[in-house]
Amino acid sequence: MKIETRKVGDVTVLDCSGKITLGEGTMAVRNSVREILKNGGMKIILNLGDVNYIDSSGIGELVSSYTTVTNGGGQLKLLNLTKKIQELLAITKLLTVFQVYNDERAAVASFS
């Protein structure tokens, strides 16, 4: 699991690649999101385009990060879901929770 952090205006984009699974993967997501919040970042996009596998713990971490960011007054959105991840989020009804985008410019512009 690798996460690259970059800024687009006042939005922080986390480019995730690899597997989001119990242990290292979920910790990487959790720590990255909490670090952004600690530094005052309120607009976060998780780019999952290069995530090739996510398990139930990974899904749980997405929900946990979403809750943490929302409770902190911020917004967390998902970008570039793979077909598999999109299907998983549909089955678990989480597509109704997250705002999901396929275009980074649209995702960045969606923060108001």
The per-residue pLDDT for 98 is 98
Model pLDDT for residues 5-31, shown as the tens digit of each residue: 999 999 999 999 999 999 999 999 999
- Split at pLDDT 50, 70, 90, the class of 65 is very high
Across residues 89-107, what is the average pLDDT?
Answer: 97
The per-residue pLDDT for 104 is 98
Which CATH code of 3.80.30.20, 3.40.50.10490, 2.60.320.10, 3.30.750.24 fits the domain covering 2-103? 3.30.750.24
Radius of gyration of the chain (CA): 13
Determine the Cα–Cα distance for residues 70 and 84; give it in Å rounded to an integer. Answer: 25
Determine the Cα–Cα distance for residues 93 and 25; give it in Å rounded to an integer. Answer: 22
CA 57 from chain centre, in angstroms, equals 14
The per-residue pLDDT for 112 is 73
Domain boundaries, the chain: 2-103
The per-residue pLDDT for 16 is 98
Across residues 60-73, what is the average pLDDT?
Answer: 98
Determine the Cα–Cα distance for residues 26 and 68; give it in Å rounded to an integer. Answer: 14
